[in-house]
Structure formats: C-alpha cells, structure tokens
Structure 1
Amino acid sequence: MSLPKMLAQRHGSPLYVYDLDRVLAARRDLSDALPPGCDVYYALKANPHPDLARELRLGGCKAEISSLGELASALTAGFDAGDVLYTGPGKTPSELDSAFALGVRRFSAESPTDLQHIGAAALRCGTVASCLLRINSETSAANTGIRMTGRPSQFGIDSETIAGLAAELRAVPGTTIEGLHLFSQSNAESEDALIGELSHAVELAAHLEKELDVTLGLLDIGGGFAAPYGRHGSRCLYPRLRPALESVLDEWFPRWCEGTPRLAVEAGRYLVGDSGTLVTTVSNMKTSRGKTFVVLDAGINTFGGMSGLGRTLPVSVEIDGDGPRKAFLAGPLCTPGDILGREVPIPDLRPGDLVEIPNAGAYGVTASPLMFLGRPAPTEVVVRGGEVVSVSRIEHVRRCAG
C-alpha cells in the first residue's frame, strides 16, 4: 500500500499528502534551467501551505503574493517582508497600509492609478515603495497556455501607452520605478513556446526601458513553467531554456551578468504541483442509463480547479490503477456540477476503496469552493523522506463583526 493511502487510513479522507522531497527536486530542476543569479519568486496562490512555502524559502525562493492572507502565510514561512513582491490589480488603501506596516516595500503596479495608490500609502508610512510596472504586452510570441496579455485586461499597463505615460509614471510621489513585471502566460505547452514568450519579454523590456528613461534594476519576466494538474505525468524539463535566455539577455541587456538588471521569474504549480497526492474514498457506485458513476468523498469543494482557467472544474482528473472500465467521478455535493472526471478509466472499485489523484499539490484546497455546503476541509499531511512533518486542516469560524 502506498504511503498516501496508509496516511489516509490513519487520518481519514479526503486527504492531501505533500512530499517536501518533491518540492526540493522541482526547485533544483528550475534552478538548473535558469541563468545564474536569476531570482525565483514562489507564487503562493498555487499553495500557501506554510511548510511548502518554508521549503522553497530555504531553497532560495522569494515570495510573490497578492493578498494580506498570502502575506501572512509568507511571513509564517519565514520570508523577509522586504523581499516579498506584492501584486494584483485591486490593492485597497487599507491593505496597502497593512502591507507597509508589516514591512513590504516592493509592489507590482498594474496601472497609473494603482501606482498612485501605492505611493500614497508609502507616504502615509513615511517611506518609498520600490515598484515594478506590470506590462500588458500588445503582442506575444506564442498563443499557448493561459494568456494574460495581448488583450484588454485588468492586468498591467498597455505597452503601447508607456511612452506617453513615462513622465507621469516617474513622478508619482512615494514611489521609485525599480523595474518591469511581464507575466504573459501560465502553463506553456512546450519549451519552444516558453522560450519564445520569455525572450519576447526581455526584448520588450529593453524597448520600454528606453521609453521610460530609467535604468531597470529588476526585470521580472514571469513564468509559464508547466506541470500536469490532477493527471498522470511529469513536470517539464527545460534543457534549452538557460542558453536561450542567456543569449537574448546578452543581446538586449549586455550588463545583466553584473546585475543590471537582475532577472527574476515566477513559478507556482511547477514548484509544488507534483509534490501533492489527493486520497479520496469511494462512497458509492451506481449505474445510470448505461453510465457508471463512482461517488467519492472529495469533490469540487476539495479539488475545485484553477481560478486562472476561468472555470470552476478541472478538465478531468485521473486516478491510480487505471483499468478497462470507464466512469464518471462524482463528488459528494448536492449539485450536478460536482464532477471531477468524465469517462475516466478506473480499476475494479467498491465502496470503501481508497483512490489517489496525482499531481494535486497546486491549486487544490485553497483554489476550491471550500465552504460550499459546509463540508469539512480535507486534512493536509506534509512528509519528508517518508516521515510525517505536520498534520493540519483549515477551519472556518464565523465571528460576530460588531
């Protein structure tokens, strides 16, 4: 019996098991694929579990967050607030004040008004914010993965408007333009697509540096590093990415090796996706008009899909022990939308059996409608070398607001 199933027998299901050895392996693989000196920001939206975040901090990562909740997780994991990158298009005055009070000084500005709001909060705190201007590129090098640019968007300043806004952006009180933030896609479908998009970001940044009339200190070219989600498979490896990026950096930023600018990327699912296994129990099985339904104790409230996909449900999960039969994998919720997979190959199953969903370390618990119908959150177990590091579960508590 696998370790995740053994842990489920001890702690019950649904149960997430995260393996820190896999987190460390992913961090090493990504480091090997990047130019020397490149900063890696861990996007806590993928999985804010403090033990996973702490492992990545110890592995040299910095933290990218977009809420005070994620900031709290990052600080719990030991990240230095001064190295955190605070992103997102809807930063409110109160959360900016709180972030500054906690020591955050680096922000991604999504628009001229967002930059003004950051500056006003910095002045209230008696400091200056180091800002990356997030850019919504007018063009792209690829049309794969989840697109974040090249269309009207709440994310980023339209690249074609930078020249006309340069003086205004440089003059915002309480801010200094430290660099640029170009995040164009997620989960690139191939290494060629990833190289094309990141190379395009470097070239665009060189042109924008001239239009802004600033010297870039930090260039965040985003991510797109791919990993399977709830299905069998392995993380992508990128043997050609490092030399390709070094070549394009040599062309457009000949002093990059000296740290002008310092290069950064962001990664979430790539770093934690294959560390996680979701164990769920078969509650019931039935046949309806010729179709087999396997009802599990984990549904969309437990593994609800990535918000970045623009839909609630994963495309389709897979389970261990594929067999000749096919079935719909349904969750326990009282809604017909609680389907984790359609016509998924299954082994011989019966109520009470444990099954595993692989590659579930990213966009799991906290990317799900966890409170829908009031079912308890799944237990989360962290292991290293086959030994349990921690056991925890998210609890929801209603408190009076008066």
Structure 2
Amino acid sequence: MVEALLERSGVRDRLGAVRTPAYVYDLAVVRENHAHLRSALPGSAEVYYSLKANPHPALLSELRAGGALPEVCSPGELDAALQAGWSAGQVLYTGPGKRDADLDRAVRLGVREFSVDSVVALDQLEAVAAAHDVRLGCLLRINDDQPAAGQGLAMTGVASQFGADLAWVLAEPERFAGREHVRMRGLHLYMGTNLLTVDDLVAQFRQSVRTAARLCEVFAAHGETIELLDLGGGFGAPFAKRGDRIPLDGLKPALEALFREELPDPAPAIAFETGRYLVGTAGTLVTSVLDVKRSHGRDVVVLESGINHLGGMAGLRRVPPLVPDLVGEPDGRGRMTAMIAGPLCTPLDLWARSAEVPEVRPGDVLAVPNVGAYGLYASLLAFLGHPMPAEVVVDGDDPQRPPQVSRLELIRTHGED
C-alpha cells in the first residue's frame, strides 16, 4: 500500500486530512542519512549541504542541528540558510556566475567564503571586498583535465562554466594569486554527481587529491597556502525509484589512506558537499489518479502531478529521464502497462511513454519514492498555473509529532533590500 511508505513515520491516520498532491519529508531519514555519511568520512572532515537539492526550512534546520554547513549559490538560498539559523560566516557561496549586487549583499550580510571559477570572478570579488574594506577567503574551483569514471553528470574534464581549467592555472598561477583583499585559501574540486559505488567515489577523490597536491606546491611558490580542500561529493542516491541510499562501507579507510599518502604535511583541512545523499531518500510524492482511458490501443493514466511537480529538469538533462516507480496496490488489483501523463495542457507532460504500474482507477492514490532531492524544487512550478503540492514534514522517530503542512508560494522574492 502507499501508506506502507509512510508507516514508519506513524502518521498514516493523521495524513488522511492532507490533500494530494503532497511531498512528504521524513526528518528521521534525513538524520539517518547524515549520520551514515558522517560515519563514512574521516572524522575531521566538514560536510556542506547543497541547498539546491531541497531548501525546505525543516530539512535545513535538521541538518544545521546535526552539524552540516550550508553551501549556497543564489540570493534565495543564502536567505534560506540564514533563516534556518546558520550564521553568514558559516556559508560557502558558490556558483559560476555571480551578480555584483548579489556579492555586495552577501558581503554586507557577513559571508566571507566564496568559490570562484576564473580570473574575472577573482577580480570581481576583489572589487567587492575592497569596496567594503574587508578581507575575504576564496576557494578556486578547478576543472581537471580528465573526467572521473562513473559520474551521473560531468562537472569536470569537459568544457564547462565550472572552474578554471587545470592547464590554465598551471600555466599562469600568478594570475590567481596575490590579491589585496581576497586570499585564496583553498581549492574546490567537484568531479561529478550521483556516483553509485565506493570504488567510483574513491577514484574521483584520488584524482582530485592528486591534482590538489600538485597545486599546493605551485601556489606555495606564489605565497599562497592552501588550507582547505573542498572535494565536492557525488554521493549517489536513487531518484524516483525504489531503493535505499548507497552503502558507503570501506570509504572511510580508503580516504584516510589516500590523504595520508598523497597530501603534504601539514595537510589541508578537508570538506565534502552533498545534497541528494542527505535528503533524496527522505522524500515521497503522493498523488492521485485523475483519469484512466484507452487511446489508440494503449492505456493512459493521467495523474494530478506531472512535470510541474516532478522532473521538469529531466528535459534539461539535470536529472535522469523519469520513468518513475509508481507505488501502490489499490484493492489488491493487478498490474498494467500504461502511458503516464500529468494534468498539463501540453503533450510534453509525460513521466513515461510506457511503464508498468498498479491497475488503477480514478481516485486511487499512488506514490513516487525517493524524490526528496531535486523533486519539487527542480520542477516547472509556474508552468500553466496548477496548484502547488503541499509539503508535509513528519518524523519517523517521533510518531506523536503532528505532521507539519505547508505550501510553497508560486513566487518567492529573495535578496532584495
């Protein structure tokens, strides 16, 4: 049953009053994922949460309480981090392009750490820091020569807006060092996303660490001491499919050996960043069947959720093409193969052209598992003006806690004074 996905939270009866469609987030799963990741990393490493995965306030508060730090890449995400209780001094502000006004505001609010991707970005940050007469730290993002194997989305080793090409930095290191108000205190190396095995994770971190060790020597000759390595993440999780977070057995000793063998003494501090691993398996989309019909010899199921509620960015290759698992066993009926469509007035609103689903009728409720990351917040929310799904926060470790129900506003204004 759909309710079985929520049984652990002990809120099946109390969710009866929540109208579909709704995203249900379980804070207990967020805690478990965070604890599992922390235990799989060297004890001194920091973990940054990438707000782009899901900036819901309850999830942010839970992660902040657990010791995660915020990684943001927009004025709206910065506001969300501050409202969740992080101080501006804890924020890492990233992104390949930043408006002068956004940098100015971030510095005024107290952000002191930025990731930069080019000489232009360094000069821009220097100008803002000089205008405020403050000293800022930056992490220089590096686009390595080769992509890492096994990645879901290439972030390096290809032409990209992310990072300065390694060959460029090695050829002209002086252009990235020596600014009066901006100190290059670290390197940012993010190879790829959604890696599904420990072997693939270790391989990408090995490549990044070796590149970083090389750059530590180069920049030392130009008066810059590398104090921090942000190795990104890539920790995979299922998306819109059944399954659990990937196991990370063996990752910690492999990383400890890697750092011991490859990094200089004293070694820089290490940080990782992740979004989907922490919140992906904590979210379930619950949605109702609006129509079931036959069309040109095929069954067609129309749901009240479509690309406006889940997976709009699949068309931009940000997330995999959907074909989601639809979970439900209404009245013990059988299975059917059907086209899965949403309610939008466009033929583009398809989750799957052919998928096996429970044999459904109008009014039945189905669920899509593992959409806590890049679900609601990576969808085409304003397209065609349908109502937003509710967001329901539960806590599987506290069955007596009432569900917290909210609804995302169609337009949020952030970062304007």
Native 8 Å contact 1:300 1:313 kept in 2: no
Of 254, 263, 271 in structure 2, the residue corresponding to residue 253 of structure 1 is: 263
The equivalent residue for 2:195 is: 188
The equivalent residue for 1:220 is: 230
Letter of the 2:336 counterpart: R
More off after superposition, 237-246 vs 65-74: 237-246
Would you say 1:396 and 2:410 are equivalent positions?
A: yes
Alpha-carbon separation, structure 2, partners of 1:7 and 1:355: 18
Is there any run of 5+ residues in structure 2 with no aligned partner, and where?
Answer: none
C-alpha deviation, 1:312, in angstroms: 7.4
Alpha-carbon separation, structure 1, partners of 2:117 and 2:133: 22
Alpha-carbon separation, structure 1, partners of 2:124 and 2:85: 27
Of 131, 139, 146 in structure 1, the residue corresponding to residue 138 of structure 2 is: 131
Q: Deviations over 1:17-53 (max 9, x none)?
A: 0000000000011011111111000000000001101
Native 8 Å contact 1:305 1:313 kept in 2: no
Alpha-carbon separation, structure 2, partners of 1:342 and 1:208: 49
The equivalent residue for 1:73 is: 80
Native 8 Å contact 1:162 1:211 kept in 2: no
C-alpha deviation, 1:215, in angstroms: 2.2
Letter of the 1:390 counterpart: Q
C-alpha deviation, 1:315, in angstroms: 2.7
Alpha-carbon separation, structure 1, partners of 2:386 and 2:271: 40
The equivalent residue for 1:234 is: 244
Q: Normalised by the size of structure 2, how large is the TM-score?
A: 0.91
C-alpha deviation, 1:211, in angstroms: 1.4
Alpha-carbon separation, structure 2, partners of 1:307 and 1:66: 20
Letter of the 1:211 counterpart: V
Native 8 Å contact 1:5 1:279 kept in 2: no
User: What are the equivalent positions in structure 2 for 1:320-339 lying under 5 Å apart?
Assistant: 320-321=327-328, 323-339=334-350
More off after superposition, 73-82 vs 137-146: 137-146
Would you say 1:208 and 2:215 are equivalent positions?
A: yes
C-alpha deviation, 1:79, in angstroms: 1.1
SS in 2 for 1:388: coil
SS in 2 for 1:132: strand
Alpha-carbon separation, structure 1, partners of 2:255 and 2:45: 11
The equivalent residue for 2:307 is: 300
Native 8 Å contact 2:117 2:140 kept in 1: yes
The equivalent residue for 2:357 is: 346
Of 131, 141, 149 in structure 2, the residue corresponding to residue 142 of structure 1 is: 149
Identical counterparts, % of pairs: 45
The equivalent residue for 1:269 is: 276
Q: Normalised by the size of structure 1, how large is the TM-score?
A: 0.94
The equivalent residue for 1:153 is: 160
Alpha-carbon separation, structure 2, partners of 1:227 and 1:355: 21
Q: 1:201 to 1:306 in 2, by over 3 A?
A: farther
The equivalent residue for 2:67 is: 60
C-alpha deviation, 1:199, in angstroms: 1.3
SS in 2 for 1:341: strand
Q: 1:293 to 1:7 in 2, by over 3 A?
A: farther
C-alpha deviation, 1:334, in angstroms: 0.7
Q: Deviations over 1:148-182 (max 9, x none)?
A: 11011111000011123322211233200110000
The equivalent residue for 1:371 is: 382
Q: Deviations over 1:173-224 (max 9, x none)?
A: 3200110000110001322111100111111100011112232111001111
Native 8 Å contact 1:221 1:263 kept in 2: yes
More off after superposition, 2-11 vs 324-333: 2-11
Native 8 Å contact 1:110 1:156 kept in 2: yes
Native 8 Å contact 2:324 2:352 kept in 1: yes
Of 16, 19, 29 in structure 1, the residue corresponding to residue 26 of structure 2 is: 19
Is there any run of 5+ residues in structure 1 with no aligned partner, and where?
Answer: none
Superposition RMSD on alpha carbons, in Å? 2.0
C-alpha deviation, 1:294, in angstroms: 0.9
Count residues in correspondence.
397
SS in 2 for 1:295: strand
